A and B are shown apart, each in its own frame.
Chain A
Amino acid sequence: DTAVSQTPKYLVTQMGNDKSIKCEQNLGHDTMYWYKQDSKKFLKIMFSYNNKELIINETVPNRFSPKSPDKAHLNLHINSLELGDSAVYFCASSRSGGSGNEQFFGPGTRLTVL
């Protein structure tokens, strides 16, 4: 009965490789997000989708490409991985509308680029 799940939990790979992280939520939410958290715990939003439409696209290298096949899924594909991509990536979801809706976070995917 996990609310927001991500796979894999850990990802270790070489520079230059391409990798994907998957996210699924079973809360019936219509909005999903990808965040990047660096080693100092700074949390930065990367993308947000509402009903499969991209609504937030922060300044992120175009090596990062999100894809939302349906409202319950939001995947993140990263091309040509670089050392600086090492971080913990969090998926989150929420209901849209109003400003008081909480975000539900997944457990995170720790990406290490060697």
Chain B
Amino acid sequence: GDPVTQMEGPVTLSEEAFLTINCTYTATGYPSLFWYVQYPGEGLQLLLKATKADDKGSNKGFEATYRKETTSFHLEKGSVQVSDSAVYFCALHSGGYQKVTFGTGTKLQVIP
């Protein structure tokens, strides 16, 4: 199967709602896991990352915990803002010269 699976969008939320975007992965060893965000008309930028099991990445109110037992790296935010409207990509890198594998992206729309 695909190395990275994330929930399909679009996800539409009201401002201040709780956000969860699910991401699961398939990989041997101990890959690093990332969430990238793509705002409209821009390139991707790193939102947060975790490089080993049980690590929690956090940035701009977003969090994700590297769960090896469930092979998951779900993205959460307690209270979303209109400015969080973007496409979010989960990604995995197993190291060395191997490629980074991106999920299919989840579009988030936050309405006032």
- Chain A residues in contact with chain B, CB under 8 A? 4, 40-43, 45, 48, 50, 55-56, 58, 90, 92, 96-108
Contacts and interface: CB of A to CB of B under 8 A. Distances in A.
Interface of B: 30-32, 34, 38, 42-46, 49, 51, 87, 89, 93-97, 99-100, 102, 104-105, 107
Contact of B42 (A48, A103, A104, A108): A108
B62 to A, nearest CB: 15
Contacts, number: 58
Q: Is the interface of A mostly helix, strand, loop or mixed?
A: loop
Nearest to B44: A105
B99 A99 contact: no
Nearest to B42: A107
A55 B100 CA distance: 13
